[in-house]
Amino acid sequence: MDQVKIREYKKETNPFRLFADHLNAVATGLKYFVKPQRITLRYPEESLTLPTGYRGMIRLYKDVCIGCTLCALICPADAMKMVTEGGKKYPTINYGRCIFCGFCVDVCPVDALKETRVHDAVFTNRREMIFWPDKFNQDFDQPIPYQGVVKKVRAVVDEKKGIKYVPDE
């Protein structure tokens, strides 16, 4: 029977090398302490511009919709329901149930549903989470205002810092 060879990292046994490693660690820490390289996104003040195709909140194009009910049929969370408005069927969405799977957008034969790039909508009660066709018809691509202006930023891969945020547009 072959012995399975286990490879281990060699443990450092030279105490002077160990001490030097400790000094190195502390020096690295001090370097970061003196020259901070923060990658925190200060969210309410600055918000990230998300890529196109991000699966955020869904919006409806009411004039395109043909009322085929496919979206309501495919919805795995029963978030989408059909309502009749003036003799025509439109989908409504309940964001309390929606799991953002995007099936409704995929299944729509006329592309009447679209995924927006907004994911940070806030509701104050559960009734507000149900979007009736008129509200569902509005565009979502607005920054949520917080104490004035929200700075839109974009994440860029940086050689030194790892991630850097640059102002978008």
Partner 1 sequence: MSALYALRYYFFYPSFFVVIIFPGLIFTTIVLLLTIWFERKAAALVQMRYGPLYVSKRVGGALQLVADAIRLVFSEIIIPVEVNPTLFVLAPALVFTFTFVPMILIPYSAIPQSGSILSPYFHIFYDPNIHKGLFIGYFVPYNIILIMGLSAITPVFILLQAWATNNRFAIVGAVRESLLAVSYDVLIVMSLAAVAIEYHTLDIAKITETGIPGIIANPLAALVFFIGMLMATGRFPFEIVEAESEVVVGPSTEYSGLLFVLAMGGSYVTTFALSFVFSDVFLGGWLPLNGLPGALWNSIKAIIVLWFTVFLRAVYGRYRIDQALRGSWKYLLPVAFASLVLGLVVGQLWIR
Rg from Cα positions in the chain: 26
**Shortest Å, Cβ 166 to partner 1:** 17
**Shortest Å, Cβ 150 to partner 1:** 16
Of the pair 32, 132, the CB lying nearest partner 1 is at: 32
**Region from 1-9, 23-31, 99-107, 111-119 binding partner 1, contact rule CB under 8 A:** 23-31
User: Is residue 76 at the binding interface for partner 1, with CB under 8 A as the rule?
Assistant: no
Identify the residue among 17, 20, 25, 64 touching partner 1 (CB under 8 A): 25
**Shortest Å, Cβ 37 to partner 1:** 6
Distance, in Å, from the CA atom of 123 to the CA atom of 154, rounded to the nearest integer, reads 26
**Shortest Å, Cβ 14 to partner 1:** 11
Length of the chain: 169
Residues 29-68 that bind partner 1 (CB under 8 A): 29-30, 32-33, 36-40, 42
Identify the residue among 1, 7, 14, 15 touching partner 1 (CB under 8 A): 15
Residue 144: partners with Cβ closer than 8 Å, 6 or more residues away = 47, 118, 120, 121, 122, 150
Do the strands 130-131 and 88-94 form a parallel or antiparallel pair, or are they unpaired? Answer: antiparallel
DSSP secondary structure, 36-99, as one string: -------TTTEEEPPPTT----EEE-TTT-----HHHHH-TTS-EEEEEETTEEEEEEETTT--
Q: Which residues bind partner 1 (CB under 8 A)?
A: 15, 18, 25-26, 28-30, 32-33, 36-40, 42
